[in-house]
């Protein structure tokens, strides 16, 4: 049995190019925690950091880059995680900026009937997707967002831990984000056409 843990990055890269899956597994095990920590520091979100690292390793496996020196593998992985994390942050900022400008636009009262229809459809869609959440998740989410309760208050009312409340809200937000990606695009196109 080969002792992959004792191999250098350069040796692992050579074996990887020869189709050795065990070399990929060693690279994954060697760098996963470090890359996760790197992304987590920037995102401050455990699940998103895990997603970033998984995406980087999936892309790494499907499209193996060429490495010329022993330090290149580590540098490549850290750079890929940093770039993927920055893209995620920028995407999130664009959504936040768009929603902020939409809210300001609505408050000024300068919207046309078509814009109001689009906004009403957005509100209807939000309510529909929240109603489709699993019952316990919906209850925790609505207590947080509609009733304005803190994680601690929700935990006390439902007799669960603060951590469980936070995790449930994060999962609900992640599910809702997935559902709204296409709808945001539609709403943006409608609003841009009207300007």
pLDDT, tens digit, 9 for 90 and up, residues 85-127: 888 877 776 566 656 665 665 555 554 555 566 666 766 777 7
Tell me: do 120 and 182 sit in the same domain: yes
User: What is the pLDDT confidence band of residue 1, given thresholds at 50, 70 and 90?
Assistant: very low
Q: How many domains does the chain have?
A: 2
CB 100 within 8 A of CB 180: no
CB 13 within 8 A of CB 67: yes
Q: Which residues of 70-102 are buried (b: 16+ CB within 10 A; e: fewer)?
A: eeebbebbbebbbebbeebeeeeeeeeeeeeeb
- Comparing CA positions, the residue from 153, 133, 136, 135 lying closest to residue 144 is 153
Report the alpha-carbon distance of residue 103 to residue 27 in Å, rounded: 46
Tell me: do 80 and 116 sit in the same domain: no
Report the alpha-carbon distance of residue 133 to residue 154 in Å, rounded: 17
Tell me: do 71 and 29 sit in the same domain: yes
Q: What pLDDT score was predicted for residue 54?
A: 92
- Of 55, 89, 123, the one marking the end of a domain is 89
Q: By residue range, what is the domain housing residue 84?
A: 4-89
Tell me: do 64 and 122 sit in the same domain: no
Q: What pLDDT score was predicted for residue 184?
A: 60
Tell me the whole-structure pTM to 2 decimals.
0.47
Query: Is position 105 within any domain?
Result: no
Tell me: do 117 and 84 sit in the same domain: no
Q: How many CB atoms lie within 10 A of CB 138?
A: 15
Residue listed under structure tokens 């002792």: 3
Tell me: do 84 and 133 sit in the same domain: no
Q: What pLDDT score was predicted for residue 169?
A: 81
**Helix 135-145 crosses helix 151-158 at what angle (to 10 degrees)?**
140
Tell me: do 67 and 140 sit in the same domain: no
Give the count of alpha carbons within 13 A of 79, CB side only: 8
pLDDT digits (tens, 9 = 90+) for 146-188: 788 888 898 998 999 988 888 888 888 777 777 666 556 555 5
List all residues 6 or more positions away from 190 whose beta carbon is below 8 Å from its beta carbon.
114, 115, 118
When the pLDDT of each residue in the chain is averaged and rounded to a whole number, the result is: 76
């Amino acid at each position: 049995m080969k002792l992959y843990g004792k191999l250098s990055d350069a040796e692992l890269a050579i074996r990887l190019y020869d189709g050795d899956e065990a070399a990929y597994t060693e690279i994954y095990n060697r760098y996963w925690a470090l890359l996760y920590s790197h992304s987590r520091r920037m995102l401050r979100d455990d699940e998103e950091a895990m997603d970033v690292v998984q995406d980087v390793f999936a892309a790494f496996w499907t499209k193996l880059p060429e490495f010329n020196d022993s330090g290149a593998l580590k540098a490549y992985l850290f750079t890929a995680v940093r770039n993927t994390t920055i893209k995620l942050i920028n995407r999130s900022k664009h959504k936040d900026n768009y929603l902020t400008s939409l809210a300001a636009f609505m408050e000024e009262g300068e919207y046309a009937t078509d814009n109001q229809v689009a906004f009403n459809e957005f509100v209807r869609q939000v309510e529909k997707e929240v109603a489709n959440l699993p019952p316990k998740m919906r209850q925790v989410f609505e207590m947080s967002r509609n009733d304005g309760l803190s994680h601690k208050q929700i935990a006390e009312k439902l007799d669960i831990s603060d951590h469980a409340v936070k995790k449930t809200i994060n999962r609900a937000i992640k599910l809702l984000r997935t559902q709204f990606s296409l709808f945001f695009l539609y709403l943006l196109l409608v609003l841009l056409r009207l300007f």
